[in-house]
Amino acid sequence: MKRILVIGGGASGMTAAIAAARSGAAVTILEHMDRIGKKILSTGNGKCNYTNRRQDLRCYRGEDPAFVLPVLRQFGFEETVAFFRELGIYPKERDGYFYPASEQAAAVLDVLRMELRRLDVRVVTGCEATAVRKLKNGCEVTTDRGSLRGDCCIFACGGRAFPKSGSDGSAFGLIERLGHSFVEMTPALVQLTAKQAFFKSIAGVRTDCRVVLLVDGTCICEDRGELQLTDCGISGIPVFQVSRFAAQALKRGQRVQAALDFVPYLEREPLYEELSRRFLQGEGKTAAEALVGLFSKKLIPLFLKQNGISLQEEAGKVPRERIQALGRYLKELVVDIADTKGFAAAQASAGGVRTEELCAETMESEIVPGIYFAGEVVDIDGICGGYNLQWAWSSGYVAGVHAAGDIRE
């Protein structure tokens, strides 16, 4: 019977362990926290968005996003839904996003733990891997609680995001000592902080917005969705989607800005007509009152003041050129990005073990045979919407099956 050691009991480690055990291997998970799967409990605001019906290459990022294709071909969206359904998770779909019907992330963790128990997978918690050595036959993992020998070892130790759940990078040195190299890690799916001081006055507002990321003045990517304004910057899904590129550009010392379109549902001309109508026909209204119903009341003073319009000014007396300037401003408010909120607040990390050093068919190391990788430790990150967990389940399953030597196409 093959013995497999899995370092890390997160989403990818548990899936790898289940796949290896189902293929007949004796599996041990080594987890340095007091319990496995801590991060899963926080996913999807406690509801766990565990996959997404829409799957294409644009949903995955890294130096070589196409690395995911052979992995997803073996264990992709359909297999994931079937896997969890068999374990007890009845799927609930919302616009292609999948959640457990109970809407409890804890249910996802529970069914994984039940399956580990059914398969007799040994789970050792409070046990940190401190060294991995390749032996002539197999490998040895040293931990702070002694050494273990196995035929194969799977690194499923996560990235650097949300380190309080255990993914603290403590295994990266072990991986480097085996000869692997990393694409530098940055936070991904994270809030951005801005240099402008006005954010305190608009904190808490949520609004439909298009966010365009500019690096040294050039548009790098954009997204539209619910923008959340915080007391120091911008958050929400459209910000998360562009944040990894912001983090990388900041790291390179480039100028990073976000152009915010607060009226993404109107082109410039219809917006100007709407504003003109509101101001010029706003009989008896102040300038501030003329915008009620178009924007959150918290945003109106900022928008007017930034355009030299007094709040109490009679709406009908606001000059045309000021209305035009306001329209331009609303379509393109450029904010200077100072930083990200860092790994502590990030939902994922970009970067990781270089995919060119791994076999995409098996997740095995090309440098050290018998060593496998799964999940966020690899240089693949997904966009918001269930893709990071999909990558964890998929790469975990593929690593587990192949490490157990049960190669099925």
Binding site for ligand FAD (CB under 6 A): 7-13, 30-33, 38-39, 42-44, 48-49, 128-129, 156-158, 161-162, 165-167, 170-171, 347-348, 375-376, 386-389, 392
Closest C-alpha among 137, 135, 174, 136 to residue 30: 174
Smaller CB distance to ligand FAD: residue 77 or 387? 387
- Residue with smaller CB distance to ligand FAD, 44 or 327: 44
Using the minimum distance from each CB to ligand FAD, give the nearer residue, 12 or 241: 12
Q: Of the two residues 30 and 263, which places its CB atom closer to ligand FAD in the complex?
A: 30
- CA-CA distances (angstroms) from residue 61 to 57, 253, 384, 409? 8, 21, 11, 25
CA distance to 124, 172, 212, 230, per residue, from 336 (Å): 47, 33, 12, 15
Of 15, 8, 5, 84, nearest to 49 by C-alpha is: 84
The smaller minimum CB distance to ligand FAD, of residues 40 and 315, is found at: 40
Closer CB to ligand FAD, residue 84 or residue 262? 84
Q: How far is the CB of 157 from ligand FAD (least distance, A)?
A: 4
**3-state SS track over 262-289:** CCCCCCHHHHHHHHHHHHHCCCCCEHHH
Structure tokens at 358: 């791994």
> Nearest CA to 381 among 403, 344, 355?
355
We find the least distance from the C-beta atom of residue 161 to ligand FAD, in angstroms, to be 6
Q: How far is the CB of 257 from ligand FAD (least distance, A)?
A: 26
Least spacing, CB of residue 285 vs ligand FAD, in Å = 43
| Min separation Cβ 386 and ligand FAD, Å | 4
Q: Which residues contact 150 (CB under 8 A, 6 or more apart)?
A: 3, 4, 5, 28, 138, 139, 140, 141
CB of 124 to ligand FAD, least distance (A): 9
Residue with tokens 């040294």: 216
Min dist CB 7 to ligand FAD, Å, is 5
CA distance 273 to 268: 9
Task: For ligand FAD, give the closer residue by CB, 110 or 376.
Answer: 376
Q: Are 68 and 391 in contact (CB under 8 A)?
A: yes
